[in-house]
Amino acid sequence: MASTEQQAAGSERADLDELVQGVRAGRPRSIGRVISMVENGAAELPALTALLAADTGQSYVVGITGAPGVGKSTTTAALVAALRDSGQRVGVLAVDPSSPFSGGALLGDRVRMQHHALDPSVYIRSMATRGHLGGLSVAAPAALRVFDAAGFDTVLVETVGVGQSEVEVAALADATLVLVAPGMGDGIQAAKAGILEIGDIFVVNKSDRDGAQPLIRELRNMIALGTRGPGEWQPPIVTTVANENRGIDELRQTIDTFRAAQQASGEHRRRRLGRARQEVEGLALGQLRAELRLSRSGLDELADRVRAGELDPYAAAAQLLARHG
Ligand SMILES: Nc1nc2c(ncn2[C@@H]2O[C@H](COP(=O)(O)OP(=O)(O)O)[C@@H](O)[C@H]2O)c(=O)[nH]1
Ligand SMILES: [Mg+2]
C-alpha cells in the first residue's frame, strides 16, 4: 500500500495534470490560477512549466508602450477587436512592474475591456511583478508561456509602469509598438528617454488633436537619425484615433508586415533567443541569491568583516562564491 506521503504526491500530481489540461483547453480559470502561481513564485512552477513546455512557441507577442494617457489601453482594446475579426484568439497581459499587487490600477482598463470580457476567445489579465523572485525578466516570460500554451495566437502586453520598465517589457516582445500623442507635452520627451530605440512601429495616436502633423514630422526626423543600417527594418509611423477605431486596421496590417520581415531576416529568432537567455539568467541569479541568503554561507560574517574594515567587498564576494561552489 502506498504511504500517505506517496498518496499526497500522487494527488498533487493529478492536480497539476488537471491544471495543465485546463490551460491547454484555454479555460480561463486554469489560466488565471497558473498566472497567479507565476506571480507568487509557487513551488509547483518548475513542474508545471515542464508540463506546459511542449505546447509553446506559437503565439506572437506584441508590446505596447508609451507615456501614461497616450492611449495604450484604448489601442489595445481596439487591436483586440481587429484581431478577433481576423479570427485570432487574443490574450492581453497588463504588466505593472512597479507594484507588488495586481488588479487595482487596472480597474479603469477593465471597464474599457468589458465587451471583450464575455468573449471566450479573449483572455485579459493584469500582473504585478515587483517582489517576484527574478523580477520582470522571469515573471513576464513565464506568464507569456501560459498564454502560449493556452493557444492564443497573439498576446498584447501593455505596460502600466513608466520609464525603464517599459524598455524591459519591450525586450520581451516579438514586436514593440511605441505610442506618442500630440498635446501631451512629453510625447517625444518620453521617446527620447530610450524608447525610440526599441520601437518597431511608431503610432501617433490622438491624431484628431492639434499638433499631430508636427509630431509626425519630428518623429520621422528622429527615426531617420537612428542607427538602423540599410536593409534593416525602418520603423514606420502609423496614425490612429484609437477611441474611434481609426487607423487600427492599418496598424494590424503593419504588425503583420513587420512580422514577415523579421521572420525572413532571422531577427525573430534572435529576439526569442535573447528572451530565453534573460529568463534563464534571471532564474539562475534569483536562485543563487536565495541560496546565499538561506545557506550558512557566512554572508553575515563576511559582511561584518567588511563593515569593520578587515576585508574589502570584492574579496568578500569572491569568498562567498567560493564557499558556495
Ligand atoms: N481624442 C482622443 N482621445 C483618445 C484617443 N485614444 C484614447 N483617447 C483617450 O485618452 C485617454 C487615455 O487613454 P488610455 O487608453 O487610458 O491611455 P493609457 O494610459 O496609455 O492606457 C482616455 O480618456 C481615452 O478615451 C484618441 O485617439 N483621440
Ligand atoms: Mg492603460
**One-letter-per-residue 3-state SS of 186-219:** CHHHHHHHHHHHHCCEEEECCCCCCCHHHHHHHH
Confirm or reject: Cβ of 73 under 6 Å from ligand 1.
yes
- Tell how far the Cα of 229 is from the centroid of ligand 2, in angstroms: 33
- Centre of ligand 1 to C-alpha 122, Å, is 21
- How much is the pLDDT for 104? 40
Helix H or strand E segment including 32? helix 28-40
Point out the ligand nearest to the CA of residue 72.
1
Specify the ligand 1 atom closest to the Cα of 209. Answer: 1
Is the CB–ligand 1 distance for residue 205 below 6 Å?
yes
Dihedral angle sign, alpha carbons of residues 83, 85, 88, 90? positive
Are the beta carbons of 125 and 35 closer than 8 angstroms?
yes
Sign of CA dihedral 198, 200, 205, 209: positive
Task: Give the residue, out of 65, 70, 74, 113, with the most ligand 1 atoms within 8 A of its beta carbon, to mutate for a pocket test.
Answer: 74
CB of 72 shorter than 6 A to ligand 1: yes
CA of 72 to the centre of ligand 1 (A): 7
> What is the position in ligand 1's atom list of the atom closest to the CA of 108?
16
Q: What is the separation, in whole angstroms, between the first and last Cα of the chain?
A: 41
User: What pTM, to 2 d.p., does this model score?
Assistant: 0.86
- Quick one: pLDDT at residue 82? 96
Q: Which ligand is nearest to the CA of 92?
A: 2
| Residue ranges in the chain whose pLDDT is less than 70 | 1-5, 8, 96-117, 129-137, 161-166, 185-194, 295-297, 325
User: Does the Cβ of 70 fall within 6 Å of ligand 1?
Assistant: yes
The verdict on the CB of residue 242 being under 6 Å from ligand 1 is: yes
Predicted local distance difference test score (pLDDT) of residue 298: 83
| Interhelix angle 248-265/72-85, nearest 10 degrees | 80
Helices (H), 86-159: 107-112, 114-117, 136-149
pLDDT given for residue 103 in this prediction? 45
Pocket residue to mutate for ligand 1, from 162, 243, 245, 250, most atoms within 8 A of Cβ: 243
Q: What is the pLDDT of residue 259?
A: 97
Q: Which of 165, 199, 164 is nearest to 180 (CA)?
A: 199
Could you report the per-residue pLDDT of 170-225, keeping only the tens digit for each? 778 999 999 999 987 655 655 555 677 888 999 999 999 999 999 999 888 888 88
- Distances from the Cα of 118 to the Cα of 107, 113, 149, angstroms: 16, 10, 21
